[in-house]
Amino acid sequence: MIRSVPLLALALAVTPLGAAPPGEPTRAALVDLQTADMRVAAIGWRLLTANASRCPRQMPGTGLVLHGLGQYPPGTARDAALVLQPDLDELTVLGVVPGSPAAAAGLAAGDAIEGIGGRRVSALPLTGNHASALRDAAERELAGLSPAAPVVLAVRRGAERRNVTLAAVPACRSRLEVVAGEALRARSDGELIQIGQGFAASLSDDGLAIVLAHELAHTVLDHHRQAKAGATSLARRERKAMSRRFEDEADLLSLELLSGAGWDPAIAPRFLRRHAKALDRFASGGVHRKAADRADRMERALAGRNPDAG
């Protein structure tokens, strides 16, 4: 399958699966990936909109999940059209988050998006020649709109064309991406939060919220920019210490982000203890503390104590 969509309008997507022969395995993979997209979109919607006031950069939250035919390898494009919607177009709605502005406006899977804010999608400037360039351009266009102003889309459903106005709400400006396959767990770079499809499937909704909240915390705290600056000015030991500090800060802020979006923050330390063995196995280079240590720090913070106290 495919994709890499920014959740710029709270839309999201995935990176491509390799081309595969048409048939049930491909169709099953497409459905599984669509399911992962929508699940991450719904949980991300809660986190990104509920915590918008904490984010230095915002975007319009619409609840749209977008994709395009160009993102699909030739071996899967036909199945994508058959499985995901009957007439997959260049830029199309994959789904909408329930209760979102897109849902309230009546948008649905299969609707083609032809214009954004009065600008034709076909006229948007593309960056690079990768398969998701058009979708990415549309996401950038959406992200550049006022976070709280209505978003006007030119939509085609079958032969009918109409303008649809979405009552968008402010959201943290962050892209969400489900990466097909089993290799990736989770990571963020200040603009993009990626989570592996297999890893997401292994998590409960609470677990997925915990992972996304931790990665969003890195974005809110601007850790990527600080790390980039430190890469040229700090010694290796200092960079490692900085990275450890960033992970500690993200752990603690994630508790506030979870609470702000309606989760009990105590689920985070419980999650770390329950999955300590697996998490410790994947921890890299001593940047992350042991899961039990992270859980201890979180519990001290939740109890109003100094998380660094012994």
Query: Are 246 and 108 part of one and the same domain?
Result: no
- Sign, CA dihedral 302-305-308-310, equals negative
Distances (CA, A) of 305 to 252, 294, 302: 12, 14, 7
The two structure tokens encoding residue 275: 């999955």
pLDDT at position 20 over 80: no
Beta bridge partners of 112: 92, 156
Query: Are 189 and 246 part of one and the same domain?
Result: yes
Would you tell me how many other CB atoms lie within 10 Å of the CB of residue 259? 17
Average pLDDT over residues 111-121: 93
Query: Are 18 and 153 part of one and the same domain?
Result: yes
Domain assignment present for residue 3? The answer is no
Query: Are 36 and 124 part of one and the same domain?
Result: yes
pLDDT at position 154 over 60: yes
Give the model's pLDDT for residue 137.
Answer: 84
Average pLDDT over residues 255-267: 98
The two structure tokens encoding residue 22: 């048409």
Residues, the chain: 310
Centroid of chain to Cα 213: 11
Average the pLDDT over each of 53-62, 152-161, 285-294 and give the range with the smallest value. Answer: 285-294
Domain assignment present for residue 1? The answer is no
CATH number of the domain encompassing residue 21: 2.30.42.10
DSSP string, 24-38: HHHHHHHHHHHHHHH
What pLDDT band is residue 282 in, cutting at 50, 70 and 90?
A: confident
Domain assignment present for residue 310? The answer is no
Query: Are 16 and 122 part of one and the same domain?
Result: yes
Residue with tokens 């592996």: 196
The number of distinct structural domains making up the chain is 2
Distances (CA, A) of 221 to 12, 157, 190, 255: 22, 41, 9, 14
Average the pLDDT over each of 12-16, 30-34, 103-107 and give the range with the smallest value. Answer: 12-16
Domain assignment present for residue 240? The answer is yes
Query: Are 141 and 41 part of one and the same domain?
Result: yes
117, 168 Cβ separation under 8 angstroms: no
Average pLDDT over residues 136-153: 89
Per-residue pLDDT reduced to its tens digit, 217-253 = 999 999 988 888 888 888 888 988 899 999 999 999 9
Domain assignment present for residue 5? The answer is no
Give the model's pLDDT for residue 17.
Answer: 44
Domain of residue 291, residue span: 181-302
Query: Are 24 and 153 part of one and the same domain?
Result: yes
User: Of 151, 172, 193, at which residue does a domain stop?
Assistant: 172
Maximum mean pLDDT: which of 15-19, 99-103, 188-192: 99-103
Query: Are 267 and 229 part of one and the same domain?
Result: yes
Query: Are 98 and 213 part of one and the same domain?
Result: no
Query: Are 122 and 236 part of one and the same domain?
Result: no
Query: Are 83 and 102 part of one and the same domain?
Result: yes
Domain assignment present for residue 30? The answer is yes
pLDDT at position 9 over 80: no
Task: Compute the distance between CA of residue 172 and CA of residue 58 in angstroms, rounded to an integer.
Answer: 5
Query: Are 201 and 252 part of one and the same domain?
Result: yes
User: Of 122, 137, 172, at which residue does a domain stop?
Assistant: 172
